[in-house]
Structure 1
Amino acid sequence: MSKVEILAELPKLTAEEREEIYLKIVELDGDDWLDADDPLTDEQKALIEARIEAHEKNPQSAIPWEEFNARLKRRSGE
């Protein structure tokens, strides 16, 4: 199957099937998606550090991925 054919089939898949494909791609690519030519800005690094610090101060505020994903889907209207 060609790349064009694969891309044409993607919209026909369910959200669960697309997520499965996405996870497989991430697994295969590992950290290759990180772009060395486009590193994080200082602002992005500071935001990450602030969020890590906030989590370390209050780890009980964290929620499971499934809950986060469900909230995100509700917000986006899925």
Structure 2
Amino acid sequence: MEHWQLQTAKNRFSEVVEKALHLGPQVVTRHGIETVVVLSIEEYRKLTRPKNSLVDFFKTSPLKDINLDLERDKDTGRDLEL
């Protein structure tokens, strides 16, 4: 990962973005301290993607063995005079 001082990153932002797209995440420092990372949307989505599918979530849920009554009430409402 390449490191950029904040002022340099601001002045050369297009270059920072291009490098993030083609070479990987770019680290921006402020006062010598790593502060933020510029990365492609593709890399960001990889990092924020759920680790498990919804099916896996339900399969491993602590509530998976609870017997729920999922029957709908057959009540059709009440009769109204219009």
Task: Bin the TM-score by the shorter chain.
Answer: under 0.3
Higher strand share: 2
Higher helix share: 1
- Greater C-alpha Rg: 2
Q: Which has the higher contact order (CA 8 A, sep 6+)?
A: 2
Alignment TM-score, normalising by the size of structure 2: 0.25
